[in-house]
Amino acid sequence: MPTSKSDLAKLTKLGKPSKASRTLEVFPNHAPKGSMEVTLYCTEFTCRCPLTNQPDYAEIEIVYVPDKYVVESKSMKLYLETYREEGVFHEHLAMDIGKDFVQFVRPKESIVKVRFNSRGGIAITAEWKYKK
C-alpha cells in the first residue's frame, strides 16, 4: 500500500526547515499490527556530562514494534539534537528517550539502547525496555 496524502497530513517537520524540539511526529502504520519491527540507529549522538560539562559521544539504537503509528525519522533526528548541550547521565538518557518515545509513538514494544564511547577507560551501555 503506497503512502497516501492523508498519511502526510499531520507531519509538520518533514521537507521543511525545522528547529530541534522534544516532540516526535508519527504517521499511520500500514502493516498488520505486530508484523513489523523498525530499527532507528544514530551513530553521531552528543550530550554533555552533567557535572564536568565535557562532551560525551554515543550510538543510539531504538528498536520497536509499531502499533498504530510509525515515528517520522526527521522528527527523531531533531529530538536527539536537543540533547547536544544538555548534561545527562548515560543511564538517565536511555530512560528519558524511551519514555518520550512511548509517549509519542505508542508502540507495542520498544528497546532503547545507548552505547557511549569510552571516557576515562570505561564505556557505558544502558538499555531501557517497554512492552505494552
Give the catalytic positions in this structure: 49, 56
3 state SS of 82: coil
CB distance 13 to 75 below 8 Å: yes
CA pair distance 82, 68, nearest whole angstrom: 26
CA 23 to chain centre: 10
Residue environment code for 12-44, b if the CB has 16+ CB neighbours within 10 A, otherwise e = ebeeeeeeeeeebbbbebeeeeeeeebebeeee
The Cα angle at residue 97 between residues 3 and 73, in degrees rounded to 5: 25
DSSP secondary structure code for residue 106 in this structure: -
